[in-house]
Structure 1
Amino acid sequence: MPRKRPGALRAAHQQRPRTWGSPPPYRIHGLSARTSLAIHRVEALSDDYYIDPGVTDRALRRYEAFLRPPGRRPLYPQDEECSCRHCSFDDVRHARDVLEEVLRQLPPRASAELARLVASLDRAYLRRTLPDPFAGERQWRADRWWHRRLAGGRQGG
C-alpha cells in the first residue's frame, strides 16, 4: 500500500492561525507560570464575592507592603472602614483571608508553591505584630491566627 508523503499530509491539513480568545494571563511575581495559570483559573471560576481576577496578586502585594517598613517596631493592622471587595484590602488581615481561600481552592502542586510564599510572609507577620489576649472576645474571625494579633492602631507603627 503506497504511503502519502509528509508534505502532502501537511498540505491537506489546513493550518489555522492560533489565536487566543483573551490575552494570556500575566505571571504573578514570585510564582511559576504553571501556578500563576492555576491561580487565574481559580479566580475566574470562584463564586466567592471577594475572589475576582487579579485578587491573589493584589493580596500578595498588600501583605508584602504591610511588612515592608524597616525596623523592629511592632506593626498594627488597620481595621477596614468599608467591606466592599476593593476597600476591604485596607485591612491586611483581609488580604490574608483571600490568600487562605485561594490556597484552599488550588490543586495540590500550585497550592504548595503558593503556601511556601505565604509561609515566609506569615513568619514576618508573626515577628512584626503582637498577640491580642482578648481576640476571642473581640474578633468574629478569631479562629484564624492572623486575626488574633493586636490591631486598630495606625498602620505602620
Structure 2
Amino acid sequence: MPRRRPGATDRALRRYRAFPQPPGRRPRYPQDAECSCRGCSFDDVRHARDVLAEVLRQLPPRSRARLARQVRALDAGYAAERTPPDPFAADRQWRSDLWWRRRLTGGPG
C-alpha cells in the first residue's frame, strides 16, 4: 500500500474540481505536468484522478461512499462534457479501468 501524503486527497479533489473551469462548452485537454516533482504532479488532472482512485480503494466504507459521490459527479462532467474521448486509446497501453486516461490530451489548455 502506498504511503499517504498529508493533504494529497484534498489537493487532488480541488484540482479535479477546478479542471473544467472556466465554465462553458469548449473542450478541455489534460496536460502532462511540466515538472515531475510531487507538488507539480497535480498539474496533470489525470494524476489527481489517479490519487482519488487510490484513496477510494483505501477508505473505510462510510468515508468511501461520501467521497465516491463527489468523484462520480465530477467524473460525469469530465467524461461527458469537457474531455473528448481518444479514438486511438484502444491501441495504446492504458489500462481499461483508468477511463480518465483514455481522453484526448495535449490540445489547447
TM normalised by structure 1 equals: 0.63
Contact 2:28 2:82 in 1 (8 A): yes
Tell me which structure has the larger Cα radius of gyration: 1
**Matched residue, 1:75:** 28
Q: Which one scores higher on RCO, CA 8 angstroms, separation ≥ 6?
A: 2
Percent identity between matched residues is 70
Pairing partner for 2:76 from 123, 127, 131: 123
Pairing partner for 1:91 from 44, 50, 60: 44
SS at match of 1:74: coil
RMSD of aligned residue pairs (Cα, Å): 1.7
Q: Name segments (4+ residues, structure 1) moved above 6 Å.
A: none
Contact 2:94 2:102 in 1 (8 A): no
**Cα-to-partner distance string for 1:76-112 (whole Å, 9 max, x where unaligned):** 0011233332111111000000000000000111101
**Matched residue, 2:5:** 52
**Which AA in structure 2 matches 1:91?**
D
Aligned equivalents of 1:109 and 1:84: distance in 2? Answer: 32
Contact 1:80 1:89 in 2 (8 A): yes
Please, which runs of 5 or more residues in structure 2 have no aligned partner?
A: none
**Which AA in structure 1 matches 2:47?**
H
Pairing partner for 2:58 from 102, 105, 112: 105
**Matched residue, 1:32:** none
Instruction: Give the number of aligned pairs.
Output: 108
CA shift for structure 1 position 141: 4.3
SS at match of 2:37: coil
**Which AA in structure 1 matches 2:65?**
A
CA shift for structure 1 position 137: 3.2
Residues 129 and 95 of structure 1, relative CA distance in 2, 3 Å threshold: same
Aligned equivalents of 2:2 and 2:22: distance in 1? Answer: 31
